[in-house]
Chains A and B, each alone.
Chain A
Amino acid sequence: MPDGTEAMNARLPVRTMTVLGMIAAVVVLASAVVLVVSWPTTPQRLPALPIRLYAYDPVTAHLADLPQDRFRQGQIPVATIDEGVAGALAAEPAWASWYDAFGHRTNSVDLAGLDDLRARPLPLSATSAVPAGRYQFVLASVRGNRTEEVLAWVHVDIER
């Protein structure tokens, strides 16, 4: 017959699980708060500025002549804009960045004006060839230290 010993024996494991569960709930809740606070609210320009992507071979330091949408492993995409598309934004400070699929920044540059990006296209990685996968390029205008408007956001696939 149950004599209560079993219930006492179960008390420590249940309490342990409860305390661990409470700690975990705090972690999950904190993550949710960070998610809400960091949720991107920057407005996006419509239509977005057209971005040109070229293949860059880090071994030969050669930039392809024609723009392309898809890349092979070993090629590094570089982003630039055509002459004249920036219009009034040509001399506005901006910020260009490359990210991997999960949102980790792989390369970025502060631009005095969008013409800077035309003069110096931004490669996905400044160091070496990058693995296959999906990457993202973001170009945004900046006022003070804040991102004012997302001018372009492009997804690029590097195939194996």
Chain B
Amino acid sequence: MPAVYRLDRLAVALTTGEALLVMIAVASLVGVIRRDNTEVRVLGMFNLGAVGISLFAACIAAVVVAISSATGGSPRRRYLTWVVCGGLVFAAPTLLGVFLTLLQVGIAWRGALLSIPTTLFALWTFRRMQRNRKPSWRLVVVAFAWGLFIAAYFAQMVEGILHVVITAELLPGTATILSHAAAAAVPEEVGKGAGVLVIVLLAWRHVDGMLGGIVVGACVGIGFQFAESMSYMTGDLGAVLYQHWYRQVTGLLISHATYTGIIGAGIGLAMQVDGWRRQAVCVGSGFAVAIAAHLIWDVFAMGRLYWESDDSLLQLFVVQPLNLIVLKGPAFAVLVFLVIVALRRETRALYRQLQEEARDPGGAISPAEVPVLVSPPLRFRMRLQALLRRDRPAYTRMKRLHSAQLDLAFARWGRDRGEPYPPGAQESLRQRIHELKAECL
């Protein structure tokens, strides 16, 4: 069976989605039964309806999968059957999440318009962190969409009901603040982290280890940040501008993007190491760091344990950013540190693979190319020289050549780790590199 059709990974991804659905169902049931809040109750009923449809779809899907397995068929066909059935199971809650988010965006349309440029900037920035092989925009958009639609919907349902229950049941005090902080931090990180896990498991050939995980995580976080910002941008223009400054300018890169980026680092690294214990430690640590960092911020924010100034200008441009630096800065520093560690690991691995390819007489890389390929600034300088010579075709060819050579190094690295690449993938890359080199001559 070609290992590219990883039914085991697809099964884990589907189970993760089911777990999220179960949590939504339980929270909705609590919201409906308790009758604390009309809005929560109505939303809970909609959720239960969506979960019911999912359950019905799951029964049909199980029969289809069983028939498909019994009748045989190619691995590709079996894999696609699972994918289609999984898609049908999650269609109803996903559509509900999309509808609710778009409704929120429509209500906060001024905030949405203001937030589009900052969000695009953040996605562009995080995508560029992968200096050797940038993820496709399709992967970035999928990660962003998970954060925007799925994670935001999940958090809104589970967290919203937890807040209502805590406010109704727990006398105000330190325990209440801590409970509310945990009710925000845990479901939000679980919803976003589940997205990173699902994306990394399903798009494993397009996510380059720890660094790729960080970028996927950060993009999920940016999507969530966008949805969360909308929920605060429904007031008058002054409130919208303040929230935009707070959530989409000063806090954009150091909030959800940071927390989920850290989760992504753990999941991405787990995909590259052997042994379930080390994998569990990596994934668990990523989640633990994200939850702890988020919890610390929420405790301080909900308890108003930060500096405040009566001078609105001072508050806006000095005190508020200072609070963010002090309370969220350490988590961002951790993310930057993880990016450096991941880049260092990737660069070392690529250098080794490029050198080995250069030593191979039939290789597609010459020893002189290795220092250039391993250095993003040198690659950029070479392409820039072509542009300065006004030789755009040469620029394009060089970009394609470098890209193919690095793809080959990544493929070799993946093979070393035992990752199942399609047979002949490396040979076809070598062939392509030779063709591109011939074009350059």
Which residues of chain A have a CB within 8 Å of any CB of chain B?
A: 1-3, 5-7, 9-10, 12-14, 16-18, 20-25, 27-28, 31, 34-35, 38-40, 42, 44, 97, 99, 101-105, 134, 136, 138, 150, 153, 155, 160
Contact = CB atoms under 8 A, between A and B. Distances in A.
A120 B230 CA distance: 40
11 contacts: A1-B416, A6-B416, A13-B341, A17-B269, A21-B266, A24-B291, A27-B295, A28-B288, A38-B174, A102-B180, A103-B170
Contacts of A27: 292, 295-296
Interface of B: 163, 167-168, 170-182, 210, 235, 262, 265-266, 269, 272-274, 278, 281-282, 284-286, 288-289, 291-293, 295-296, 299, 302-304, 334, 337-338, 341-342, 344-345, 348-349, 352, 413, 416-418
A103 B342 CA distance: 41
A77 to B, nearest CB: 15
A23 B337 CA distance: 15
A5 to B, nearest CB: 7
A40 B278 CA distance: 40
Contacts of A28: 288, 291-292, 295
A103 B418 CA distance: 52
B274 A7 contact: yes
Contacts of B285: 17-18, 20-22, 24
Contacts of A3: 416
Given A34-B178, A99-B176, 6 more contacts: A2-B417, A6-B417, A17-B265, A27-B296, A40-B173, A138-B172
B176 A102 contact: yes
Contacts of B210: 13
Given A21-B284, A27-B292, A104-B302, A10 B269 contact: yes
Nearest to B174: A38
Contacts of B417: 2, 6
Given A34-B174, A38-B175, A101-B167, A12 B341 contact: yes
Contacts of A10: 269, 272-273, 345
Given A6-B417, A13-B341, A20-B285, A102 B292 contact: no
A119 to B, nearest CB: 24
A104 B303 contact: yes
Given A20-B334, A40-B173, A14 B418 contact: no
A130 to B, nearest CB: 13
A138 B266 CA distance: 44
Residue in A34, A44, A104, A134 with the greatest tally of chain B CB atoms within 10 Å: A104
A10 B352 CA distance: 14
Nearest to B37: A134
Contacts, number: 132
B111 to A, nearest CB: 16
Given A17-B282, A17-B285, A101-B163, A6 B349 contact: yes
Contacts of B281: 14, 17-18, 21
A13 B269 contact: yes
A42 to B, nearest CB: 7
Contact of B288 (A24, A104, A138): A24
Nearest to B36: A155
Contacts of B168: 155
Given A17-B265, A103-B302, A97 B171 contact: no
Contact of B172 (A13, A23, A97): A97
B235 to A, nearest CB: 8
Nearest to B268: A13
Contacts of A160: 235
Contacts of A40: 170-171, 173, 175-176
B201 to A, nearest CB: 18
Nearest to B344: A12
B416 A13 contact: no
- Listed from nearest, the 4 A-B pairs whose CB atoms lie closest are A21-B285, A103-B176, A24-B292, A38-B174
Contact of A16 (B178, B235, B296, B338): B338
A18 B265 CA distance: 12
A34 to B, nearest CB: 6
B288 A39 contact: no
A13 B338 CA distance: 8
Contacts of B170: 40, 103
B343 to A, nearest CB: 11
A50 B175 CA distance: 25
A126 to B, nearest CB: 14
Contacts of A21: 266, 281, 284-286, 288-289
A50 to B, nearest CB: 18
A128 to B, nearest CB: 11
Contacts of A23: 289, 292
